[in-house]
Amino acid sequence: MKYNSIFAAFLFAFTIGCGPKEEDIKQNPDAVPVLETVALTKEKLSTEMRIPAELTGLKQVDMFAKVTSFVKELKVDIGSEVKKGQLLVVLEAPEISSQLSAAQSRLKSQEAVYLSSKATYNRLLETSKVEGTIAKNDLDVAEARKNSDLANFQAAKASYAEVGNIRGYLQIRAPFDGVVSARNVNLGAYVGPSSGALPLLSIQQQDKLRLSVFVPEQYSGYLKEGDALTFNVKSLPGQKFDARIARMSGALDARLRSERVEMDVNNSSQKLKPGMVAEVLLPLNAPDSTVVVPKSAVVTSSEGIYVLLADNGKTRRIPVTKGRELEDKVEVFGDLPQTGQVVKTASEEIKDGTPLK
């Protein structure tokens, strides 16, 4: 009984493996396999893609100390709303006050010297109008002294202005309207422009936010400025927010091979916060009609990706590349005719040149 079972199984496998041969098909047309075909159609496929994004302040800045000093006054704290030009921090540096006083003294001294040499030159110039009273060389010497003193006076004025500008750095003001999101100093703290130090304050504009997303290369061509989209955040489940594409980088990130796309988000309700991770629903609308076939019509094998085109009653493999997928459809790109039929359910077992019934 055991040997009979093995023989029966072998005979069954041999019969299935052989299948209908070409000469059998010619003699018996009923042996031709029945393969369902579908027409090649063109559609404007519209799909959507969910992708993570990050919310940041439309404007944000870290405030550092320009000069070495001590914190004298701290007028804001975390969460404080500030206006453009508002005084935030007052620093103290006694040596800068001394430098300013010294520069002011030099300025007044050089001004007095210049005014004296200028007056001397003007008197000599008036006297020289009477012929023979003043030697020309004396007049030239007086003019040179006047010009030299003028240069020294202007240098002293520039030095005084420079120290005055440095003194202005002791008052840190808000560059725009926003909210203080971080404070890293206390009264009396020693601060300076050392590299790697934490900022004194961080300010962010929160009534308008920036939504940044990196779109993969294969999908970046479907987006353009002005496109509307929606997004949501985990901390506010069930709520959707609207935005429009405001900026596109126009280049791919060398590491991610993606294009940075930014949207401006109105946040007057203050529901959203900078730093939140959002999930964006990107609409991918094809600008032109493309060839769309059922997913089952595309074969992916070691020989490549292809569809089986019905050509004069036989199958012909046409290499294609796949685009976007939507439900049971997929975009294909290749050397396909404008009209034609492809095998709906294709597989590697259907060889090139298989007759179609």
Separation of CA 147 from chain center: 55
Residue 254 is given by DSSP the state: T
CB atoms under 10 Å from CB of 185, counted, come to 20
Render 100-164 in DSSP notation, one character per residue.
Answer: HHHHHHHHHHHHHHHHHHHHHHHHHHHHTTSTTSS-HHHHHHHHHHHHHHHHHHHHHHHHHHHHH
Q: Which residues contact 294 (CB under 8 A, 6 or more apart)?
A: 38, 328, 329, 330, 344
* CATH of region 94-168: 1.10.287.470
Class of domain 49-58+205-285: mainly beta
Predicted confidence at residue 67, as pLDDT, reads 87
Between CA 155 and CA 182 the distance in angstroms is 41
In sign, the C-alpha dihedral spanning 124, 126, 132, 135 is positive
Task: State the residue for tokens 């070691």.
Answer: 302
Predicted confidence at residue 112, as pLDDT, reads 93
Q: Which residues contact 9 (CB under 8 A, 6 or more apart)?
A: none
Complete edge-to-edge strand list for the sheet that includes strand 201-204 = 60-63, 201-204, 178-183, 81-82
* Annotation: CATH topology of 60-93+170-203: OB fold (Dihydrolipoamide Acetyltransferase, E2P) (2.40.50)
Same fold for the pair 49-58+205-285 and 94-168: no
Q: Are 25 and 243 in contact (CB under 8 A)?
A: no
Each of the 357 residues of the chain gets a pLDDT tens digit; together they read 444 444 444 333 333 344 444 454 444 555 556 788 888 888 877 777 889 999 999 999 999 998 888 999 999 999 999 999 999 999 998 888 888 889 999 999 999 999 999 999 898 888 888 887 888 888 889 899 999 999 999 999 999 898 888 888 899 999 999 999 999 999 999 888 875 678 999 999 999 999 999 998 878 887 888 888 899 999 898 899 999 999 999 888 888 889 999 999 999 888 999 999 999 998 877 667 788 899 999 999 888 999 999 888 889 899 998 887 877 888 888 888 888 889 988 888 888 888 887
Residue 248 is given by DSSP the state: E
| Structure tokens, 274 | 């900078």
Boundaries of every domain in the chain: 49-58+205-285, 60-93+170-203, 94-168
CB atoms under 10 Å from CB of 265, counted, come to 19
Task: State the residue for tokens 């029966």.
Answer: 8
Between CA 218 and CA 323 the distance in angstroms is 8
Between CA 317 and CA 339 the distance in angstroms is 16
CA angle 128, 133, 136 (to 5 degrees): 55
Identity (one letter) of the amino acid at 43? Answer: E
Q: Which residues contact 352 (CB under 8 A, 6 or more apart)?
A: 315, 316, 317
Identity (one letter) of the amino acid at 311? Answer: D
| Structure tokens, 188 | 């009396």
